[in-house]
Copies of this chain bind each other. A is one copy, B any other.
Amino acid sequence: MTSAPLTPHPDRLLPADPGVRRIARALYAEVADAPILSPHGHVDAALLADDLPFPDPATLLITPDHYVLRLLHATGTSLDALGRGPAPADPRDVWRAFCTNWDVFLGTPVRYWFETSLSEVFGVTEQPSAGNADELYDHIDGQLRTDAFRPRALFERFRIEVLATTDDPAADLGAHARLREDPSFRGRVLPTFRADRYMDPGAPGWASALDELSASAGVDAGSRAGLLAALRARREAFLAAGATATDTGVLDAGSDPLAPAEAERIHAAALRGEATPAEAVAYRRDMLYRLAEMAAEDGLVMQLHSGVIRNHHRATLERFGPDSGHDLPDVAAFTRPLTPILEAFGTSETFRMVLFTVDETAFSREIAPLAGFYPSVYAGAPWWFIDTPDAIGRFRRAVTDSAGFVKTSGFIDDTRAFCSIPARHDMSRRVDAGYLAGLVAEHRLDEGQALVLAHRLVDDIPRATFRL
């Protein structure tokens, strides 16, 4: 059997109506080659600092990408067979499993990203299939051994101007320093301060995380006052390393502050293993408030990703660890739980908060109305389960009414999959071009305004939102 051709269409994702498409094509053309600003993602800075060749196609493209893993798992391929088990899997076998099951991705954004990446990054011209799996593997593998496919070469080829990583406060940021000090590397790779490990005293590993943080900060985080001081110290270090933002992932956005003595009491109880679940929640919500307080002091932009239930399937967690595909969206709320933070800092000039959700109902009901009143609040782009062509369109239609364009964040790719970065940003540019073109076609914008907005969405708006 001959394999189907892989030829991403130049007009892909643009609206079907010929008149609207004509407008969208012009808008897209203006931003198609704009540099990439990636203010939120999960690429490891060491990848670029070390600039070592990528290992092989499966380890690069399949095994680390939970977007890919989950639908393969859902249709019967085990995570062991995808290289996530305790025993190593032959990357070629992993790649074969992917190619053999390629059709389960029909119509999904994963397929869209892959088609674009395979074609535009690796010059693949056939749809993956059981029949051509080995041939594709060898083709990509061969390229990965060349200098043109080293991380820094791709970084330049992808026209990435800014890449924000996600980093634990205890991280030494050594790779970031090496990049900054390397005159041969001209990109900006910025750390992002993510203190999730220190927020929930009921989570496994909290106490040992405090020890790591103490060592890193040179401040004893053994008390709650010490923890706050250590976090402040590390935020200074992140700022010095170029950081402009923090990130926080929490189950809910509750932010009620505790009296310091009460927080201190729970901290001590938790270290003794005696904090109740309710105390742990109260502590975590107070911590969210304290992070906002710090953000109002130092001006790091506070990204908040809430509403994800982590590790839904215990057996999968035990065998395959976290980030193995069974994190799941929950009902999201912002307006009520964020009241303490917004009462205190909502109109502060230094404070800035970007709200992300995987529950789409929050866009028109909570996020856009909040961003449409509070100077400090920005509507974060659709993320994770919903950073997809259709959901991005729904986001614009839900958010623009209350928040316009200038209070939205610009696209974030949120990805570990380095090679998918250009495909993802390109997807977003196409969808926004289509959305703007629709407004032009309905005479809600004129074409000049749309052109300006298309530019701003990939340039001024993310720069301003993330203080880049």
Residue of B nearest to A339 (CB): B312
Q: What does the 1/0 interface line of A404-421 toward B look like (CB < 8 Å)?
A: 111100000000000000
Residues facing B in A365-380 (CB within 8 A) are 365-366, 368-375, 377
Q: A16, B313: Cβ atoms under 8 Å?
A: no
Q: With an 8 A cutoff between CB atoms, is A46 at the interface?
A: no
A467 interfacial by beta-carbon distance below 8 Å: no
Most buried by B among A342, A443, A453: A443
> Contacting A16 at CB < 8 Å: which of B19, B326, B359?
B19
Q: How large is the interface on A (under 10, 10 to 19, 20 to 34, 35 or more residues)?
A: 35 or more
Asked if A442 CB lies within 8 Å of chain B CBs, one says: yes
Q: Are A328 and B370 in contact (CB under 8 A)?
A: yes
Q: Which residues of B contact A9 (CB under 8 A)?
A: 443
The reply to whether B371 and A360 contact each other, CB–CB distance below 8 Å, is no
Q: Which residue of B lies closest to A14 (CB)?
A: B442
Which B residue sits closest to A13, measured CB to CB?
B442
Given A12-B443, A343-B314, A365-B359, the answer on whether A375 and B75 have CB atoms closer than 8 Å is: yes
Check B342 against A364 for contact (C-beta < 8 Å): no
Contacts of A343 in B (CB 8 A): 313-315
Does any Cβ of B come within 8 Å of A242's Cβ?
no
B107 touches A74 (CB 8 A): no
Contact of A391 with B371 at beta-carbon distance under 8 Å, contacts A109-B401, A401-B386 already known:
no
Which of B326, B346, B407 is within 8 Å of A75, CB to CB? B407
Known: A74-B372, A325-B373, A385-B369. Is A406-B104 also a contact (CB below 8 A)?
Answer: yes
Q: Contacts A360-B365, A365-B331: A373 and B403 contacting too (C-beta < 8 A)?
A: no
The answer to whether A365 and B361 touch across the interface, beta carbons within 8 angstroms, is: yes
Known: A73-B373, A314-B343. A13 touches B443 (CB 8 A): yes
Judge whether A306 is part of the interface by a CB distance below 8 angstroms.
no
| A 1-57 contacts with B by CB, 8 A | 4, 8-9, 11-20
Task: Kindly state the separation between the CA atoms of A3 and B449 in the bound complex, as whole angstroms.
Answer: 13
Are A375's CB and B74's CB within 8 A? yes
Does A93 make an interface contact (CB < 8 A)?
A: no
**Who on chain B is nearest to A402 by CB?**
B385
Residues of B within 8 A of A403 (CB): 71, 74
Q: Does A203 make an interface contact (CB < 8 A)?
A: no
B-side contacts of A106, CB under 8 Å: 404-405, 445, 449, 453
Q: Tell me if A441 is interfacial: C-beta within 8 Å of chain B.
A: yes
Given A313-B346, A390-B401, A443-B8, CB of A75 within 8 Å of CB of B406: yes
Tell whether A350 is near chain B: CB-to-CB under 8 Å.
no
Query: Counting chain B CB atoms within 10 Å of each CB, which of A105, A444, A453 scores highest?
Result: A444
Q: Which residues of the other chain, B, contact A405 by a CB distance below 8 angstroms? A: 106-107
With A and B bound together, what is the CA distance between A41 and B418 in angstroms? 48
A342 touches B313 (CB 8 A): yes
A139 contacts partner chain B, Cβ-Cβ < 8 Å: no
Interface of chain A residues 60 through 82 with chain B (CB within 8 A): 70-71, 73-76
Asked whether any CB of chain B lies closer than 8 Å to the CB of A333, the reply is: yes
**A390 surroundings in chain B (CB, below 8 A):** 397-398, 400-401
For A247-270 the 0/1 string (1 means CB < 8 A from B) is 000000000000000000000000
Shortest beta-carbon distance, A209 to chain B, in Å? Answer: 26
For residue A347, CB closer than 8 A to chain B, the reply is yes
Q: A19-B18, A112-B444 are in contact. Are A365 and B74 (CB under 8 A)?
A: no
Query: Which residues between 87 and 117 of chain A lie within 8 Å of chain B, taking CB atoms?
Result: 104-109, 112
A83 interface hit (Cβ, 8 Å): no
Interface residue? A309 (CB, 8 A): yes
Task: Spell out A's residues near B (CB within 8 Å).
Answer: 4, 8-9, 11-20, 70-71, 73-76, 104-109, 112, 309, 312-316, 325-326, 328-331, 333, 335-336, 339, 342-343, 346-347, 358-361, 364-366, 368-375, 377, 385-386, 388-391, 397-398, 400-407, 438-439, 441-446, 448-449, 453
Q: List 18 A-B contacts (CB under 8 A).
A: A4-B446, A12-B442, A12-B443, A13-B444, A70-B372, A71-B372, A74-B372, A74-B403, A107-B405, A108-B404, A109-B401, A313-B343, A315-B343, A328-B366, A329-B369, A360-B361, A361-B365, A385-B402
